[in-house]
Amino acid sequence: MGIIAQRKYLPTRMCVSCRERMAQNELLRLQCIEGSINKFQKSGRSFYLCNDCLSQEKRVAKALMRQCRSGDKDKLMNKLKEIIADGRKS
């Protein structure tokens, strides 16, 4: 009898901007706390953005304003750019 290889389960999540489903490890996980976005901090509601959408500023801004229920687009986009820059450093 041969050993049957088991497929490892990969959780899939959806990008809030383009609505595409991808493997969880390919997406950036964020959360809104009091109208401001942050990297996910291990508790609370979160959402995901894919790398393709991160380059489309107008589309991402609309998705962030919807998720955070905030009209301050500039503040959200600046915070997102800061999070992305910090992620690339580490």
User: pLDDT per residue over 37-73, tens digit each?
Assistant: 889 888 888 999 999 998 888 889 899 888 888 888 8
Residue spans of the domains in the chain: they are: 16-89
Q: Are strands 21-23 and 36-39 parallel, antiparallel or unpaired?
A: unpaired
The answer to whether 36 and 82 have CB atoms below 8 angstroms apart is: no
Task: Say yes or no to pLDDT of 89 above 70.
Answer: no
The answer to whether 46 and 37 have CB atoms below 8 angstroms apart is: no
The predicted pLDDT at position 50 comes to 93
User: Under 8 Å CB-to-CB from 17, ≥6 apart: which residues?
Assistant: 49, 50, 53, 56, 59, 60, 62, 63
